Amino acid sequence: MKLAQLLVEPRMVTGVAGSVRSCLFGAVEKLESGHPLCRAVQRMTGPDSAPRDLSLTAHARLLDLGSEEGEPGPGLVLGLPSGDGEAQVSGPFTWIAWGLPVPSVNLFLGPVLRRWSTSLREGAGPDEAEKLLSSRDFAESAVKTRVTVGDALTLLSYRIYPGTPITEIQHLMIRRGLSSVPVVGKNLEVLGVVTADDVLPHVLPDAKGAEPFTLRRLAAREVMARSVMCASPEEGLLEASRSMIARGMAQLPVVREGELIGFLERATVLRAFVGAIVSTK
pLDDT of residue 64: 82
Query: Is the link from the previous residue into 101 a cis peptide, with omega within 30 of 0?
Result: no
Residues 6+ apart with CB under 8 A from 99: 67, 71, 72, 73, 75
Amino acid at 119: S
Query: Torsion over CA of 224, 226, 228 and 232, rounded to 10 degrees?
Result: 110
pLDDT, block means (10 residues), the chain with 281 residues: 83 72 80 85 74 70 76 72 49 71 86 76 67 82 90 88 92 88 90 89 68 70 89 95 88 90 91 68 48
pLDDT of residue 269: 92
pLDDT of residue 85: 46
Q: What letter does residue 239 receive in the DSSP assignment?
A: H
Long-range Cβ pairs for the range 56-63 (8 Å, 24+): 56/110, 56/113, 56/114, 56/117, 57/114, 57/117, 57/118, 57/120, 58/122, 59/117, 59/120, 59/121, 59/122, 59/124, 60/113, 60/114, 60/117, 60/120, 61/89, 62/109, 62/110, 62/113, 62/277, 63/20
pLDDT of residue 87: 46
